[in-house]
Structure 1
């Protein structure tokens, strides 16, 4: 049975987006448990955006990262194949 493992040799849009989502969820849960339960609404928002991305393929944070110059995994592989 094959096991999927993401490439970790460089940082690309998809990997940074997953890292940001994890940081936001973890941070908002900790803040929700220690400071105020209102931070759990932020957790729900991040979860909604993750589902929205899975269904539509549209992710605002990925678009912003790409505009800031972070390459996507596909762009990285296309450059490697040309060389």
Structure 2
């Protein structure tokens, strides 16, 4: 496992953790549809891309001709 993958996993987990803590402490109501669900979706994508190496933005950038970092 590379550092890039570990960073994605930890970043996604930390974002999801802070959303959960905010919800269960009563600061945020995640039971209603709001913009924080977009944050949760991004965090889940970060988390899963660390394990699967599939990132939708990577695919979009590749189709636009943008090269990956070496």
Considering Cα pairs closer than 8 Å and 6+ residues apart, tell me whether 1 or 2 has the greater RCO.
2
Is 1:54 aligned with 2:50?
Answer: yes
**How many residue pairs were aligned?**
42
Unpaired segments of 5 or more residues in structure 2? Answer: 4-14, 16-27
Is 1:43 aligned with 2:39?
Answer: yes
Task: Please identify the structure whose Cα radius of gyration is greater.
Answer: 1
TM-score, reference length from structure 1: 0.44
| Structure 1 segments of 4+ aligned residues over 4 angstroms from their partners | none
Unpaired segments of 5 or more residues in structure 1? Answer: 5-24, 26-32, 75-83
TM-score, reference length from structure 2: 0.51
Q: How does 1:59-74 map to 2 (within 5 A)?
A: 59-74=55-70
Distance 2:34 2:51 in 1: 27
